[in-house]
Chain A
Amino acid sequence: MSTPVPEAGPCAAWEGLLNGYLDGELDAAHVMDVERHLAGCPACAGALQRMTLVRRVVSQDDVRWRAPPALRDSVVAALARERSAAVAQPLARPSGIAALVGRLRAMLPALRQWSIIPSLAVVAAALLLVVLPPRGGSSLEEELVAGHVRSLLAEHLTDVASSNQHTVKPWFGGKIDFSPPVVDLAARGFPLAGGRLDYIGGRVVAALVYRRNGHVINVFVWPAGSDAHVDRAFMARAREGYTLLNWTEAGLTYWAISDLNTVELKEFQEDFLEALPK
Chain B
Amino acid sequence: MAELSARHGHAAPAADRGHDGAAAARFDALILPHLDAAYNLARYLSRDPDAAQDIVQDAFLRAYRSFADFRGLSPRAWLLAIVRNCHATWRMQHRRAPQSAPLPHGDGEAPEDAASLLVDGDTPESLLLRRTEAEAVRALLEHLPEPLREVLVLRELDELSYREIAEVAGVPVGTVMSRLSRARRLFADLWSRAAPDGEAVP
What is the interface of chain A, defined by CB distance below 8 A to chain B? 1-7, 9, 12, 15-16, 18-20, 23, 25, 50-51, 53-55, 57-60, 62-68, 70-72, 74-76, 78-79, 82-83, 85-87, 89-90, 93, 95-98, 121-126, 129, 150, 153-156, 196-199, 204
Contact = CB atoms under 8 A, between A and B. Distances in A.
Interface string B11-38: 1000110011110111111001101101
A74 B60 CA distance: 11
Given A20-B177, A25-B162, A82-B61, A60 B25 contact: no
B188 A79 contact: no
6 contacts: A122-B21, A123-B20, A125-B24, A126-B21, A150-B28, A197-B29
Given A54-B188, A93-B10, A197-B29, 18 more contacts: A1-B111, A3-B113, A9-B185, A20-B177, A58-B156, A62-B132, A63-B137, A65-B36, A72-B35, A83-B19, A86-B19, A95-B7, A122-B20, A126-B24, A154-B29, A156-B26, A196-B29, A199-B32
Contact of A82 (B29, B52, B65): B65
A8 B113 CA distance: 14
A25 B180 CA distance: 13
B8 A150 contact: no
Query: Could you say which interface size class chain B belongs to?
Result: 35 or more
B152 A126 contact: no
Q: Is the interface of A mostly helix, strand, loop or mixed?
A: helix
Contact of A6 (B11, B162, B178, B192): B192
Nearest to A174: B159
Contact of A68 (B53, B111, B162, B200): B53
A65 to B, nearest CB: 4
Given A1-B112, A197-B33, A59 B156 contact: yes
A67 B36 contact: yes
Shortest Cβ-Cβ A-B pairs, 7 listed:
A62-B134, A126-B21, A67-B39, A122-B21, A86-B19, A154-B25, A125-B21
B157 A58 contact: yes
B97 interface: no
A25 B161 contact: yes
Nearest to A88: B8
Contacts of B188: 50-51, 53-54
Contacts of A5: 111, 114, 189
B85 interface: no
B115 interface: yes
